[in-house]
């Protein structure tokens, strides 16, 4: 097994922190939805594409470009 050098470890840590911040920025605005979805999954243990669509419909509307004013 090869261990990472201190420099490699530091670069990897910086990259992981960047990715963590990006993931947080993407998910934080949808925390409510994600928590409700998690609760639903805990209760039902299953979710197919058809059942997931209504959960994601609001996200698709938010992602659509705004109409010009």
Whether pLDDT at 60 is above 80: no
CB 16 within 8 A of CB 9: no
Ranked by mean pLDDT, the top range of 3-7, 52-56, 64-68 is: 3-7
Q: Is the dihedral of CA 23, 24, 26, 28 positive or negative?
A: positive
CB 55 within 8 A of CB 32: no
Hunting for tokens 């990259």 — which residue is that?
15
The average pLDDT across 44-66 equals 79
* Among 26, 29, 64, 34, CA closest to 52: 34
Whether pLDDT at 27 is above 70: yes
What pLDDT was estimated at residue 47?
A: 87
The average pLDDT across 5-18 equals 96
């Amino acid at each position: 097994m090869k261990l990472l050098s201190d420099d490699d470890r530091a670069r990897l840590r910086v990259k992981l922190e960047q990715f963590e911040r990006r993931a947080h920025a993407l998910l934080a605005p949808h925390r409510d939805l994600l928590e409700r979805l998690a609760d639903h999954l805990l209760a039902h243990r299953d979710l197919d594409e058809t059942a997931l669509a209504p959960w994601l419909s609001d996200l698709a509307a938010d992602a659509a470009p705004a109409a010009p004013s």
